Amino acid sequence: MLEASRLANREGENIVRKQLPVLFTRLALFSIILALATPLHAQTTDELPGYTVTITNLTKAQRMSAPLIWSHNTQSTFFELGMPASQALATGAESGSTADLSAIFLRSADVANVVKSGQGTLFPGGSVSLTVRAGGDFNRLSYISMLNPTNDAFAGLQGFKVPNNNKLKVVDVPAYDAGSETNDELCKSIPGTTCRGEGVSTNDRGEGFVYLHTGIHGPGDLKPEDRDWRNPVVRLTIQRVCGGIQGLSCAEGHICDLPSAQCQSADLQGVCVERPDACIQVFDPVCGCDGKTYSNDCERLMNGIPKDHDGAC
């Protein structure tokens, strides 16, 4: 009986010894798969190319909340036409604040970089430029601003693929209705300096889905002749930046055009522009940082020289 027990123990030990290498191999394989499946997070954004995004308010009398831009992968969305708005989007569209949305994006592994304008409200005809890092798996850009005064309108761009070359991209952005508050156009329902009403209507669920906004119609306190618009409401220009501390380069056939009158400055950030092959013979002189006068700005770019100032040297 004792001998049988010893034989059983030895057999069990042999089985364990045989299984250990298999277990360790499986554990190592699982660790590799887990590492490969872990998405890039925001800490690695310094390695991504930079893009300058200029936002221009195209409306006559609608103010835009401070623009919010973020780069992300194809898994990240923040609204869908015909579907209910998220609580964060509804709150933002009604209150004019992107704080809740920004907090969500900052926590998301699908988002690489989140940038908000520090200049506050974007007034009609005004522009602001932001620099956002994007590329690799995080090669999509999204943008949002709230329109004021409105009940729940927002300007939004979702999942725009950044240019894989150095060409300037221009995107016109429409206004959407979050569908979270009825468009009564009454000042008591609209926050901001124009109306000073409540930010979020807790007892009003609106139409219940996101759709293209149809503008101001005048049933309440807002006059269409003053506050109405026709889409688009915002224009975005997107261009890859170059230079800077990292010395970001441009694609072949392009040069890094640095800011004017900064000839002695180091680590300047510029934008990638196409290097012209030929120029029209127009005399509109500019002075290059090499101390040479060029017949026009095209000739300066063709020679790849930063600009000092307009006019002859």
Residue 299 CA to its chain's centroid (Å) = 34
Of 16-25, 29-38, 109-118, minimum mean pLDDT range: 29-38
pLDDT > 60? residue 137: yes
Helix (H, G, I), strand (E, B) or coil at 243: strand
Residue 55's pLDDT band, with cuts at 50, 70 and 90, is very high
CB 71 within 8 A of CB 159: no
Please tell me the distance from the alpha carbon of residue 161 to that of residue 131, in angstroms, as a whole number.
Answer: 16
CA atoms within 13 A on the CB side of 252: 0
Cis bond leading into 39, ω under 30°?
Answer: no
Please tell me the distance from the alpha carbon of residue 242 to that of residue 146, in angstroms, as a whole number.
Answer: 31
Residue 232: per-residue pLDDT: 97
- pLDDT tens sequence across 103-132: 999 999 999 999 999 888 999 999 999 989
For residue 95, which phi and psi values (nearest 5 degrees)? -95, -20
Residue type, 185: E
Helix (H, G, I), strand (E, B) or coil at 145: strand
Higher pLDDT, 166 or 38: 166
Residue 169: per-residue pLDDT: 92
Residue 10: per-residue pLDDT: 54
Residue type, 154: F
- pLDDT tens sequence across 70-102: 999 999 999 999 999 999 999 999 998 899 999
**Would you report the helix, strand and coil content of the chain in percent, each value rounded to 5?**
25, 30, 50
Contacts of 229 (CB under 8 A, 6+ apart): 59, 60, 62, 175, 215, 216
Residue 30, Cβ neighbours under 10 Å: how many? 10
CA dihedral 176, 70, 124, 217 (to 10 degrees): 10
pLDDT > 60? residue 6: no
Residue 157: per-residue pLDDT: 97
Higher pLDDT, 220 or 7: 220
Residue 179's pLDDT band, with cuts at 50, 70 and 90, is very high
Residue 172: per-residue pLDDT: 98
- pLDDT tens sequence across 251-303: 778 888 888 988 888 778 888 888 999 999 999 999 999 999 999 999 999 99
Residue 41's pLDDT band, with cuts at 50, 70 and 90, is very low
**pTM of the complete model:** 0.73
Residue 41, Cβ neighbours under 10 Å: how many? 12
pLDDT > 90? residue 58: yes
- pLDDT tens sequence across 208-254: 999 999 999 999 999 999 999 999 999 999 988 888 776 777 777 88
Q: What is the mean pLDDT of residues 203-207?
A: 86
Residue 7: per-residue pLDDT: 45
